[in-house]
Chain A
Amino acid sequence: MNIHFDIDNFLKTPRVVLFGMLGVFIALTIIYLAILLLSKIFKNKKKKDSGATEE
């Protein structure tokens, strides 16, 4: 392959760059929200239990 500037090829990429980064952010934001939700639903009971025993 000869290295050369290929503007036509380059002009196809902004959509991939934009939607690619957007896609990664969307996926990770959803995982973030899922972790928050899971952490809220399944709080660590260990501390509470040990607290109860102490009481």
Chain B
Amino acid sequence: MADIFSNVLEIRWEMVLMWVIGGVLIWLAIAKDMEPTLLLPMGFGAILANLPTSGAITQVINGKTEEGVLDVLFNAGIANELFPLLLFIGIGAMIDFGPLLSNPKMLLFGAAAQFGIFFTFALAALLGFDLKDAASIGIIGAADGPTSIFVANYFNSNYIGAIIVAAYSYMALVPIIQPPVIRLFTTKKERLIRMPYEQKEVSATVRILFPIVTTMIVGILAPRSVALVGFLMFGNLLRECKVLRILSESAQKELANLVTILLGITIASKMRYDLFVKVDTLVIILLGLVAFVFDTIGGVLFAKLLNLFVKKKINPMVGAAGISAFPMSSRVVHKMGLKEDPTNFLLMHAAGANVAGQIASVVAGGVMIALVEKLI
């Protein structure tokens, strides 16, 4: 009898706290519909990994190492960056780059809205995080889960659990985070700027060549991110070639769903109480918010800067859609535009900036790896 209950004595308050955190993630996923595909597996995994002497994670019992399935999955799918890359095939197959191809200057907003990544990197370094961890924390601002996982894992950050929780939570919170920041940095007059959308037909050849050319350009300029951008663009090529409809649909549905299930629960192996219950975790979650806020500021201010030089004025809210949280950010900007003027439709412009952010965040991840690697 004592043997059966001996495990109960192994329960620590930090474990209980992790069960609560797991429960909150599951509640957010189910009750609030916040990124449920990831937060639910992560929440359940957090509970699974924090049971006393949990067999789901690697334990040393009586001097013998027993490998846990979550660690096996982590080594098989995240430590070698496989899961985020496979997920990118699915994401690439889901994205329609049409709005961007018909208005390619939106790419510049994608670039500007990565400012939060680098600002937060500097702030994290100021707060004493070593440069590898600071880069991994900054990349929360990519607003793009797979890129965050890729970079944090590349730098072998101990904070990967907190980074992923922050990245996915803030992506879901974009409709709450962005509007007050946008309002703070724009005037009512600016928010009322109309941007008529001229729909340009994009030829099938351009749609097919775009993923190939983008992969080559990014691969040459930022070789560290070629795997990420390559898999994203491969997925998009499956979609646009129109002869692999079944593969494209499989990538969008079965592949993306399977990888998401495994990714979410595997991340939980890094949500063990000994790695997670720290002041650092709270600081990282706050820094993640800073990253999203400064991404938004970067996009808005860049649009305002462009307006000093261009004849056709740009609604600065569109700049905020340059963060990669797709499609939440473009929806937020569209709704804000309609609120100011019910006849001002910004959706297509915002969608263009938003998919540009997807490419820009991957490039930013590669650039960050290349630059920080030289410093360490």
Contacts and interface: CB of A to CB of B under 8 A. Distances in A.
Contacts of A24: 111, 114, 360, 363-364, 367
Interface string B176-213: 00000000000000000000000001110110011001
B375 A28 contact: no
A28 B368 contact: no
Contacts of B201: 44, 46-47
Given A29-B108, A44-B201, A16 B209 contact: no
A14 B371 CA distance: 11
A20 B105 contact: no
Interface string B338-374: 0000000000000000001001100110011011100
A25 to B, nearest CB: 5
A15 to B, nearest CB: 7
B33 interface: no
Contacts of B112: 25
Contacts of A38: 205-206, 209-210, 213
A27 B363 contact: yes
Contacts of A10: 122, 125-126
A36 B118 contact: no
Interface string B89-131: 0000000000011001101101110110111011001111111
Contacts of B367: 19-20, 23-24, 27
Contacts of B126: 5-7, 9-10, 13
Interface stretch (B2-10, B166-174, B214-222): B214-222
Nearest to B102: A39
Interface residues of B, number: 53
A49 to B, nearest CB: 12
A28 B128 contact: no
B114 A21 contact: yes
Contacts of B104: 31-32, 35-36, 39
B133 to A, nearest CB: 8
Contacts of B101: 35, 39
A20 B11 CA distance: 45
Nearest to A13: B122
A20 B371 contact: yes
A13 B126 CA distance: 9
A42 B105 contact: no
B280 interface: yes
A53 interface: no
Interface of B: 100-101, 104-105, 107-108, 110-112, 114-115, 117-119, 121-122, 125-131, 134-135, 201-203, 205-206, 209-210, 213-214, 217-218, 221-222, 278-280, 283, 356, 359-360, 363-364, 367-368, 370-372, 375
Given A6-B125, A32-B107, 18 more contacts: A3-B127, A5-B128, A9-B128, A9-B129, A10-B125, A13-B126, A14-B122, A16-B372, A17-B118, A20-B118, A21-B111, A24-B363, A25-B108, A31-B107, A32-B108, A34-B214, A39-B206, A44-B201
